[in-house]
């Protein structure tokens, strides 16, 4: 199969349809990395450049707030909205400057955070009016704490708005375990960690006529990296969900759903590849890239401890300046390089390296 040709910048609409179909046909998926500011954004874009594959960059609500200044007032989600819009413009400009295609997305949005997504959709409608393309490629709603009926009904209302500006909606069915961004699902009932194929069919029937969706189905996956515990990964749930829709609705392809793997950090290569073979096209990674960013910085601080105790004076002399050790660029770049290396490993595990032309 010839490599998929992509235009640099933000990928959306029909080009994103093609990208997801290509991923399913060639059994590869793209890392979806959480970013919190220019440093992690630039590292993500660089990793995609080196892997010759597009990357999915996503802002969580907390990441959006952080991007605009965590200490500011966030009444009515105003800081989160500003951080999300500013981040989108930064990603777009830097991706275009370096010739890299990027899918731009927002992560989990529970019911109480809907004003954040409302603000981003308003900005997206404005952007679409001026430019003919959306600001983001896609948003996620995570209404997995609501009833299935509410989850589907609210998702449908949002999808109607997103469809008009060529955007995707990611929904969550079942609950991702663990804890992330202040949402703690560590004590959730185990049965909720496994999505029912019937629920997936109901969501597919209600939403696919309205617009473009991706589905985060739970198959025992958890946010964060924990000691292997009592929850088993069961990727066959993904396979059964696809098969149910294919057989019930006679869809043209055997993998009608574009699936999302949440809590990818800490997964084995084999588990990843199995999930990808069942139609996972988006693989969320956060904890592993956080570690990859922070660890080299800890090493730097440890190794240069004697140069970081005061602005003047180190083992080479009491009057020697320490400016070049103190400069945050000296150690932030090490975090960025750590993150780039970890993301390149993810591209490789996801079978995406060198499969694209841009």
Instruction: List residues binding Zn ion (CB under 5 A).
Output: 176, 262
Q: What is the number of the residue whose Cβ is closest to Zn ion?
A: 262
- Specify the residue, 15 or 60, whose C-beta has the smaller distance to Zn ion: 60
- Specify the residue, 133 or 216, whose C-beta has the smaller distance to Zn ion: 216
Give min distance, CB of 62 to Zn ion, in A: 12
Give min distance, CB of 108 to Zn ion, in A: 5
Closest C-alpha to 23, from 242, 257, 187, 248: 257
Give min distance, CB of 260 to Zn ion, in A: 8
- Specify the residue, 46 or 262, whose C-beta has the smaller distance to Zn ion: 262
Give min distance, CB of 128 to Zn ion, in A: 27
Query: 116-146: b or e for each residue (b if 16 or more CB lie within 10 Å)?
Result: bbbbbbebbbebbeeeebbbbbbbbbbbbbb
**Cβ count within 10 A of residue 249:** 12
Give min distance, CB of 52 to Zn ion, in A: 26
Give min distance, CB of 107 to Zn ion, in A: 6
Name residue 314's beta-bridge partners. 317
- Specify the residue, 140 or 292, whose C-beta has the smaller distance to Zn ion: 140
Largest CA distance in the chain: 78
- Specify the residue, 283 or 300, whose C-beta has the smaller distance to Zn ion: 283
The three-state DSSP-derived secondary structure of the chain is: CCCEECCCEECCHHHHHHHHHHHHHHCCCEEEEECCCHHHHHHHHHHHHHHCCCEEEEECHHHHHHHHCCCCCCHHHHHHHHHHHHHHHHHHHHHHHCCCEEEEEECCCCHHHHHHHHHHHHHHHHHHHHHCCCCCCEEEECCCCCCHHHHHHHHHHHHHHHHCCCCEEEEEECCCEEEECCEEECCCCHHHHECCHHHHHHHHHHHCCCCEEEEEECECCEECCCCCCCCCCCCHHHHHHHHHHHHHHCCCCCCCCCEEECCCCCCCHHHHHHHHHCCEEEEEECHHHHHHHHHHHHHHHHHCHHHCCCCEEECCEEEEECHHHHCHHHHHHHHHHHHHHHHHHHHHHCCCCCCEEC
- Specify the residue, 181 or 199, whose C-beta has the smaller distance to Zn ion: 181
- Specify the residue, 77 or 284, whose C-beta has the smaller distance to Zn ion: 284
Q: Which are the catalytic amino acids?
A: 107
Give min distance, CB of 91 to Zn ion, in A: 19
């Amino acid at each position: 199969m010839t490599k998929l040709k992509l235009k640099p910048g933000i990928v959306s609409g029909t080009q994103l349809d093609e990208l997801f179909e290509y991923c399913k046909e060639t059994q590869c998926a793209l890392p979806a990395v959480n970013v919190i500011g220019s440093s992690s954004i630039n590292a993500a874009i660089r990793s995609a450049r080196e892997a010759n594959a597009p990357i999915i960059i996503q802002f969580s609500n907390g990441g959006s707030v952080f991007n605009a200044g965590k200490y500011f007032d966030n009444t009515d989600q105003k800081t989160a909205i500003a951080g999300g819009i500013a981040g989108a413009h930064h990603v777009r400009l830097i991706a275009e400057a370096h010739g890299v295609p990027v899918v731009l997305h927002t992560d989990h949005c529970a019911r109480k955070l809907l004003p954040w997504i409302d603000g981003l959709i308003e900005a997206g409608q404005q952007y679409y009016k001026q430019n003919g393309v959306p600001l983001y490629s896609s948003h996620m709603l995570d209404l997995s704490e609501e009833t299935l009926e509410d989850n589907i009904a609210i998702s449908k209302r949002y999808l109607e708005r997103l469809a008009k500006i060529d955007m995707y909606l990611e929904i969550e069915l079942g609950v991702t375990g663990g804890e992330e961004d202040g949402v703690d699902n560590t004590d959730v009932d185990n049965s909720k960690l496994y999505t029912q194929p019937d629920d997936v069919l109901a969501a597919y029937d209600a939403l696919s006529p309205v617009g473009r969706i991706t589905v985060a189905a739970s198959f025992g996956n958890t946010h964060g990296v924990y000691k292997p515990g009592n929850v088993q990964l069961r990727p066959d749930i993904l396979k059964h969900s696809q098969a149910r829709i294919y057989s019930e609705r006679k869809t043209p392809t055997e993998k009608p759903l574009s699936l999302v793997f949440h809590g990818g950090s800490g997964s084995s290569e084999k588990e990843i590849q199995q999930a990808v073979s069942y139609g996972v096209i988006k693989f969320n990674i956060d904890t592993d890239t956080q570690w990859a960013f922070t660890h080299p910085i800890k090493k730097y601080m440890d190794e240069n401890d004697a140069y970081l105790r005061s602005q003047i004076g180190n083992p080479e002399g009491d009057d020697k300046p320490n400016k070049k050790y103190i400069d945050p660029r000296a150690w932030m770049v090490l975090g960025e390089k750590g993150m780039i290396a970890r993301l390149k490993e993810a591209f490789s595990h996801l079978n995406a390296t060198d499969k694209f032309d841009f």
